[in-house]
Every structure is written in C-alpha cells, then in structure tokens.
Amino acid sequence: MEAIFKAMDLNNDGKLSMEEIQLGYDKHFGTPIDDEEVKRMFKEIDADGSGTIEYSEFLMATMNESALVSQEKLRAAFKMFDKDGSGTISKDEIKEALGGLDEKIVDDIIKEVDSNGDGEISFEEFEKMMSKMVSITAVPST
C-alpha cells in the first residue's frame, strides 16, 4: 500500500489531493474515478477534514476495504451451504454440499460448530469456525 500511496503522491508532500487521487486512481487501480466519487471518497476517508488524505487515512481506508471484501467472501461461502436461504446451515445442507458424508461426521461437524445447540449452523457460528481454521492454518512468520 505504501508504494501505491507514494506513486500517487505526485508532489511528494506525504498527502494525496483530490487531483492526485484522480490522476493516480486509474493508473494504479485500473479504473477511472469521477469527481463525485472523489468527493464521496474524501468525505469518508479524510478523517481530519484537511482536504487531503494522509498515509494513515489511506492505510485505514484500504484495511477497512479489505475487511469488507473478506466479509463478503465469507457470506458468499455461507450461502453456498445455505441452499434454502434460511440463514442457517442444516445437517441436510452440509451433506448435500459436501457430497455424501457419513452421518456421524456430519453430526460431529454440527456438534463442533453449533455453539448454541440448536442443531444448525448460523452465520456467526460459521464465521467463528472459519476464523479458527484460518488461525490454525496460518503459517507463523520467522
């Protein structure tokens, strides 16, 4: 992110003006941005109201965007299991999605993930399970 910010900061003052955003956005993100979108962006990102976007504001905005994208991907994965759109994943939906798993394995999955004991997996329970899986599979840095 720092490299993108520096590349967009044409006058090297450590801040991005509306003009620098417009000039650099298409080059670095692959899409042009119109005046109204830049104004909306500044309203959301320019936390101190300075009329420029400092690196800390830029970084915070891109981190928030990444979190939003991750949340959308998680919802999409949940919907792949929740075939009937009920907002929960049932035992039958797990069996259908994972293709003929043994009944005991499906029961074990539900028992492990279903923290409120209702026999189904809510989005919140799914999200917790996925977070645990990500932390377990994350490779520690050395």
pLDDT digits (tens, 9 = 90+) for 6-17: 888 999 999 999
List pLDDT tens digits, range 98-122.
776 788 888 888 888 999 999 999 9
Domain spanning 82-137: which CATH class is it, in words? Answer: mainly alpha
Question: Once rounded to an integer, what is the mean pLDDT over residues 66-88?
Answer: 83
Tell me the domain boundaries of the chain.
Answer: 2-66, 82-137
Say which CATH topology domain 2-66 has: Recoverin; domain 1 (1.10.238)
Domains 2-66 and 82-137 share a fold: yes
Q: What is the bridge-based pairing of β-strands 121-122 and 53-54?
A: unpaired
* pTM exceeding 0.85: no
Alpha helices in 82-122 (DSSP H): 91-98, 103-113
- The kind and range of the H/E element at 57 are helix 55-81
